[in-house]
A = this chain, B = another copy of it.
Amino acid sequence: MSFVEIKNLTKVFGSVTAVDDVSFSVDEKSFLMLLGPSGCGKTTILRMIAGLETPTAGEIRIRDKIMFSSEKGISVPARERELGLVFQSYALWPHMTVFENIAFGLRVKKMKEDDIIKKVKESLSYMQLDEMANRYPQEMSGGQQQRVALARMLASEPALFLMDEPLSNLDAKLRVEMRAEIKNIHAQLDATTIYVTHDQVEGLTMASSIAVINKGSIEQLDHPKKVYHYPSNLFVADFIGSPQINTISCSRESDDGRIYIKTETGERFKTSYKSLSLDAQTLTAAIRPEKISIVKSDGDNTAKVKIKTVLPAGSETIIHVSYGKKVLKILMQKEQELNVGEEVFIHLPENDILLFDPETKKLLHNLQALKT
């Protein structure tokens, strides 16, 4: 049963359409991640759900209760929507100590003073801020402030979490720990969560579903895995995954019931596509950098390329190779001795080649492919 339901939500700021006819629903206890380029409308959507921004049009239901509806002219004030929100700009109260900041929501709930103290202490230690209770926000570092903002929301245990890039100012290590925290608090409280982030790993690891937003409207709403492996269009393919997916425009050939693609440089690659919903002659092929492997010798689905750059980045190495006029990105784990300028062969596994319609930019469907 869906906990939050958004219908045709639109928000126009003067001449800017920040959110454009967005509809989606979030199941109870599920964890929806809003992903999207900067300025695509994530914060605005969140603020409208929270009841801080009045939509220009559309309807918002929480627990099947109408919170906002431009038709019915209903608009429930934020305070009655019983949700928690972490602001992108932490919005901590400068005149209160960290303790008071967190206690606020509990005081509102008329909680007993010693319970409050217990609760605050607890959520502070979740966020690893135990010694900071008596600081003022302006006496803390960016990341510390951000964690206070989180603690403030969690302390009052809402049924619906809204978080706007709550970890953006934390270091990887702390971020990993905080994610874990959030996840298990989310689990403990069975809270439904809508989470804005620009960190894909966050998206892909935490979320039960991801909504990729672009220019105020949703491009794809799906399970993380689906979003990653079967991006419904080139924008998503291109936006999700770093380093970005490789795209190659090519012409179509078919042979013993299989689709082959022919690149400008002339190589033919076998794909897993048997039949295609359209019979365009030119296609856009795409393959994830980590799917490409470097092999010593020629063979099927291989091509000769020249090493352009080698960027070792901790656990992995990003390699740029030039293939014809194009540069392909390759992500490798095991370190390999590769020298810039060297010529090697790359292998593109047929199952990992995705095909898109160059006009509509949509993913092309192929029953076989979908099975896996």
Interface residues of A (CB under 8 A from B): 13, 16, 35-39, 42-43, 88-89, 139-144, 146-147, 164-165, 168-176, 198-201, 204-205, 224-225, 228, 238-244, 288-290, 311-316, 318, 331-333
Enumerate chain B residues within 8 angstroms of A42, measured Cβ to Cβ: 141
Chain A interface helix/strand/loop/mixed: mixed
Report whether B238 and A144 are in contact in the complex, using a CB–CB cutoff of 8 Å: no
A228 to B316, CA, bound (A): 11
Report copies per complex. Answer: 2
Report whether A141 and B43 are in contact in the complex, using a CB–CB cutoff of 8 Å: yes
A312 to B37, CA, bound (A): 23
Interface centre among A143, A244, A289 (most CB of B within 10 A): A143
Q: A243-B176, A244-B176 are in contact. Are A171 and B315 (CB under 8 A)?
A: no
Enumerate chain B residues within 8 angstroms of A313, measured Cβ to Cβ: 201, 204-205
| Closest 5 pairs between A and B when the two form their complex, measured CB to CB | A38-B143, A171-B198, A290-B315, A39-B141, A88-B142
Enumerate chain B residues within 8 angstroms of A238, measured Cβ to Cβ: 173
Pairs across A and B, CB under 8 Å, 28 listed = A16-B139, A37-B173, A38-B141, A38-B142, A38-B143, A38-B146, A38-B147, A38-B170, A38-B174, A39-B143, A43-B141, A88-B169, A89-B89, A165-B169, A168-B169, A169-B198, A172-B242, A173-B239, A175-B198, A205-B311, A205-B318, A225-B312, A228-B314, A288-B315, A289-B315, A290-B315, A315-B331, A331-B333
Q: What residue in chain B is nearest A135 (Cβ atoms)?
A: B16
Q: What residue in chain B is nearest A311 (Cβ atoms)?
A: B205
Given pairs A89-B89, A205-B311, A316-B333, 4 additional interface contacts (CB within 8 A): A88-B169, A172-B200, A316-B316, A331-B333
Enumerate chain B residues within 8 angstroms of A140, measured Cβ to Cβ: 39
A347 to B240, CA, bound (A): 32
Q: What residue in chain B is nearest A315 (Cβ atoms)?
A: B290
Report whether B314 and A142 are in contact in the complex, using a CB–CB cutoff of 8 Å: no
Q: What residue in chain B is nearest A146 (Cβ atoms)?
A: B38
A139 to B224, CA, bound (A): 31
A219 to B334, CA, bound (A): 27
A204 to B201, CA, bound (A): 17
Enumerate chain B residues within 8 angstroms of A316, measured Cβ to Cβ: 290, 316, 333
